[in-house]
Structure 1
């Protein structure tokens, strides 16, 4: 007679084997697929509650301009006015200086979250932070601006010494805002910023805007706000720009004589809030009309010497 020996299994042996198998699979997966990199954050030296930042290629371009109220130009692959070292193509509604305030404040608040993750924005607090009052009209305006910024799309190509330096937006749409949602119960926005925007700020290629002084600029002086952003793109103490280029950059359609008058008023406004000194229109050595001024270092000027134009207490978010 043949006897068959059967070895009794120890209690829990099967469970232990399955646990070892699962652990081996997890270890193998970890070696094959390394963990995804954490979303980048927007860390900008010098950015604080008193300053906002804008990439130089944006600040120098005609993307944001002191255009009049009313129907705006709708751009479709328009090459914007900027310096020779960049080509900026734009799709969307012409943006103005008030919308520039919104975008700079959003990018300021984006510093608290990894880029691409939702940023929660209380609309009342946000409006106060950009020097505006709260109310039905202002809330509707902010919502329209959120839509305009989400629709606005760019392709940016920058060079350095005739060599490619930066190319953003060609392989996928780069929007001013990657999108937003609005919670009508909480009265707050959830806004997303495309992580690729960090490339526009790299190597300190951004202008720091004195926010307190910007809020001191009087209403109706959007051209002064445009000049403030332009002044901040350069560390040169004495700055000069051709009138024809400035007029085109600002999308100013009236005759040159009217532009000169508006430009003179804008320079006087920047002198009043101590951003520039000795603003003037002069002839270059080649006989070309240009605007010139002396940039004042905001770090050495007296803050708060001029009241806020809006009548609000502060542009600080809180």
Structure 2
């Protein structure tokens, strides 16, 4: 014999069906309300996804790519920043704490963000160590494994405060009350040889409104040895849609953290531009005087 309570769900269902039969428009309204809730939930989830990171491209927020956060600095010459205002464009003030980051570490960060783009920000990002190294064009071996772990540590420690203005008015502020890290932290499983990364959801704001540079990854992996300056310029080229691009040599020298003589820097810039031309990233590159008599690098973006 059934207990009377076991019949309650069936009675509720019968009553609901009776109500819907008498008032069919209610069923439509409930269905519509459920659809709206599901849509809002999906929209909220999509807002935490990083946009534009196709398999053949990698991306970096324009304000980061234009800054001196990543630079073609030599090993052993890195300095530790503390509340340092990075070289950037006039509409952005970026303060940085941490070890100076180089172009190989830029590769790690872009690949990590690419891996993170497959799920909403804030969720665990699991990457296999060997496969990750291959994806950035590195060998797999003890030295490379140690290098990757040091880089993960540097990116976890790297801390930013970013303030962006537009027409003199505040547009974006990230990190003032809680610092923004390049990666929010990581765990490494020795047995599985996998990293589990965490990416701060606030990075989504830095990629919003399509304000990011798209990097052709296949071409980036084809750069010759000792061409870190060319890799840095590739990121800079990608921050602008302008076909003819001009950058003051003095500004470039500061942005690229070059501390040597100006004549040596000019030679290095010309070598880097030739490498960009070889890979068909730019054309017609040259160093010339501006209308104000200042040296500038000029090229056509392809």
1:96 aligns with 2:102: yes
Counterpart of 1:255?
A: 261
Counterpart of 2:180?
A: 174
1:43 Cα deviation (Å)?
Answer: 3.7
Counterpart of 1:213?
A: 219
Query: Structure 1 unaligned runs (5+)?
Result: 1-10, 17-33, 297-318
Counterpart of 1:315?
A: none
Secondary structure of 1:54's match? strand
Counterpart of 2:272?
A: 266
Structure 2 residue corresponding to 1:44, chosen from 51, 55, 74: 51
Does structure 2 conserve the Cα–Cα contact (< 8 Å) formed by 1:118 and 1:192? yes
Secondary structure of 1:241's match? strand
Does structure 2 conserve the Cα–Cα contact (< 8 Å) formed by 1:65 and 1:251? yes
* Alignment map for 1:1-318 (pairs within 5 Å): 40-45=47-52, 47-296=53-302
The Cα offsets for residues 83-109 of structure 1, whole Å up to 9 and x where unpaired, read as 000000000000000000000001001
Secondary structure of 1:98's match? helix
Query: Structure 2 unaligned runs (5+)?
Result: 9-36
> Based on CA coordinates, which of the two structures has the bigger radius of gyration?
1
Secondary structure of 1:76's match? strand
- The CA distance in 2 between the partners of 1:41 and 1:173, in whole Å, is 19
1:71 Cα deviation (Å)?
Answer: 4.5
TM-score (norm 2): 0.85
The Cα offsets for residues 218-239 of structure 1, whole Å up to 9 and x where unpaired, read as 1100000000000000001010
The Cα offsets for residues 168-197 of structure 1, whole Å up to 9 and x where unpaired, read as 001111000000000000000000000000
Secondary structure of 2:188's match? strand
Does structure 1 conserve the Cα–Cα contact (< 8 Å) formed by 2:82 and 2:96? yes
Does structure 2 conserve the Cα–Cα contact (< 8 Å) formed by 1:123 and 1:188? yes
- The CA distance in 2 between the partners of 1:128 and 1:122, in whole Å, is 10
Does structure 1 conserve the Cα–Cα contact (< 8 Å) formed by 2:71 and 2:101? yes
TM-score (norm 1): 0.81
- The CA distance in 2 between the partners of 1:153 and 1:43, in whole Å, is 20
RMSD, aligned CA: 2.0
Which structure carries more helix by proportion? 2
Secondary structure of 1:195's match? coil
Does structure 2 conserve the Cα–Cα contact (< 8 Å) formed by 1:41 and 1:111? no
- The CA distance in 2 between the partners of 1:103 and 1:65, in whole Å, is 13
The Cα offsets for residues 107-158 of structure 1, whole Å up to 9 and x where unpaired, read as 0011111111110000100000001110000000000000000000000000
